[in-house]
Amino acid sequence: MRHTLFLLCFLLVSIGFSQNTAVSSNEKLVFTAAYNMSGLMTDLAEVTMETSPVKTSKTTLLKLKCTATTYSKWDSFFKIRDLYESYVNMNSLTPYLHKRDINEGGYYKFMQYKFKHKSNIAESTKRKKAKVGGFYEENKNLSIGSSTIDIVTTIYKMRNLDLSQASTNKTFTFNVLFDNTEFKVSAVYKGKETIKTQIGSKECHKLAISINNSSVLSGSNDNLIWLTADANKIPVFAKFKIPVGNGELKIKSASGLKN
The sign of the torsion formed by the CA atoms of 6, 12, 16, 19 equals negative
Q: What is the pLDDT of residue 129?
A: 86
How high is the pLDDT of residue 218?
55
- The per-residue pLDDT for range 122-135, each reduced to its tens digit, is 999 999 988 777 88
Cβ neighbour number for residue 184 with a 10 Å cutoff: 14
pLDDT beyond 90 at 1:
no
How do the domains of the chain map onto residue ranges? 4-255
What is the average pLDDT across 240-254?
87
CB 122 within 8 A of CB 113: yes
pTM (two decimals): 0.88
Say what the pLDDT of residue 13 is: 42
- Top pLDDT among 255 and 154 is at 255
Instruction: Judge: domain 4-255, CATH 2.40.360.
Output: yes
Measured between alpha carbons, how far is 66 from 27 in angstroms, rounded to an integer?
12
Close Cβ partners of 124 (under 8 Å, ≥ 6 residues apart)? 111, 112, 113, 138, 139, 140, 141, 142, 180
Identify the pLDDT of residue 7.
52
pLDDT in tens, 30-89: 999 999 888 899 999 999 999 999 999 999 999 999 999 999 999 999 999 999 999 999
Instruction: Say which amino acid occupies 64.
Output: L
**CB burial class (10 A; 0-12, 13-18, 19+) of residue 4?**
buried
pLDDT tens string 134-188: 888 999 999 999 989 998 998 898 788 888 889 999 888 888 899 999 988 888 8
Residues 6 or more apart whose Cβ sits within 8 Å of residue 253: 28, 29, 30, 198, 199
Q: Secondary structure of the chain in the HEC alphabet?
A: CCCHHHHHHHCCCCCCCCCCCCCCCCCEEEEEEEEEECCEEEEEEEEEEEEEEEECCCCEEEEEEEEEEECHHHHHHHCEEEEEEEEEECCCCCEEEEEEEEEECCEEEEEEEEEEHHHCEEEEEEEEECCCCCEEEEEEEEECCCCCEEHHHHHHHHCCCCCCCCCCCCEEEEEEEECCEEEEEEEEEEEEEEEEECCEEEEEEEEEEEECCCCCCCCCCCCEEEEECCCCCCEEEEEEEECCEEEEEEEEEEECCCC
